[in-house]
């Protein structure tokens, strides 16, 4: 966990453009945004991926989702947005600390996946 990049952002060891933080979650702008609005919401406590979730995470994941919705609005995504959680090899997860992407902006996003 010592080398987990998002844990290091939580601890302040690595800088990030933080948007919001409370006892359970942290939100910060993605370093490589794919749309005008692109931020990440993470549980502060390390969870490697969505595949590791269990009943003990219900409170923190509830907080992650409600914070994501409020911040999407506050960041200007008032006409919709997309949330993405990439999980594991098949989901092409790159950072193994669970994070919800919130992606939006003025324009309609491309189709979710190509058939
Ligand atoms: P994943 O593919 O794991 O769902 O996405 C990881 C995301 O984290 C990517 O969109 C990437 O740009 C972002 N990211 C990776 N390293 C950093 C970092 O050090 N700081 C910030 N703010 N975002 C990061
Ligand atoms: Zn971590």
Question: Would you place residue 115 in the very low, low, confident or very high pLDDT band (cuts 50, 70, 90)?
Answer: confident
pLDDT of the residue at 114: 85
Query: What pLDDT is attached to residue 1?
Result: 53
- Burial, 30: exposed, middle or buried (Cβ in 10 Å; 0-12, 13-18, 19+)? middle
How does pLDDT run across 97-109, given as a tens digit for each residue? Answer: 999 999 999 999 9
Question: pLDDT tens across 2-15, in order?
Answer: 699 999 999 999 99
**Closest ligand by atom to 3 CA:** 2
Whether 94 lines ligand 1, by a CB cut-off of 6 Å, is yes
- Determine the pLDDT at residue 71: 98
Q: Is residue 71 part of a domain?
A: yes
Domain extent, residue 72, equals: 5-104
Question: 110 lies in a domain?
Answer: no
String of b and e for 79-115 (b: at least 16 CB within 10 Å)? eebbeeebbeeeeebeebbbbbbbbbbeeeeeeeeee
Of 3, 8, 94, 100, best ligand 1 pocket probe by most atoms within 8 Å of the beta carbon: 94
Contact between residue 101 and residue 38 where contact means Cβ atoms under 8 Å apart: yes
Is the model more confident about 58 or about 114?
58
Residue 51, in any domain of the structure: yes
Query: 37-96, pLDDT tens digit by residue?
Result: 999 999 999 999 999 999 999 999 999 999 999 999 999 999 999 999 999 999 999 999
Residue 31 lies in a domain: yes
In a domain, 43, yes or no: yes
Active-site residue, 97 included: no
In the chain, the number of structural domains is 1
Instruction: Judge whether 112 lies within some domain.
Output: no
Q: Counting atoms of ligand 1 from 1, which one is nearest the CA of 99?
A: 4
Closest ligand 1 atom, residue 32 Cα: 12
Which domain CATH number covers 63?
A: 3.30.428.10
């Amino acid at each position: 966990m010592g080398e987990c990049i998002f844990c290091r952002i939580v601890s302040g060891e690595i800088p990030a453009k933080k948007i919001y933080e409370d006892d359970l979650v942290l939100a910060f702008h993605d370093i490589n945004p794919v749309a005008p609005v692109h931020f990440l919401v993470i549980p502060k406590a390390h969870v490697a991926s969505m595949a590791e979730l269990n009943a003990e995470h219900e409170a923190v994941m509830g907080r992650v989702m409600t914070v994501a919705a409020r911040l999407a609005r506050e960041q200007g995504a008032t006409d919709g947005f997309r949330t993405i959680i990439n999980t594991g090899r098949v989901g092409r997860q790159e950072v193994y600390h669970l994070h919800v992407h919130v992606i939006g902006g003025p324009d309609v996003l491309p189709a979710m996946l190509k058939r």
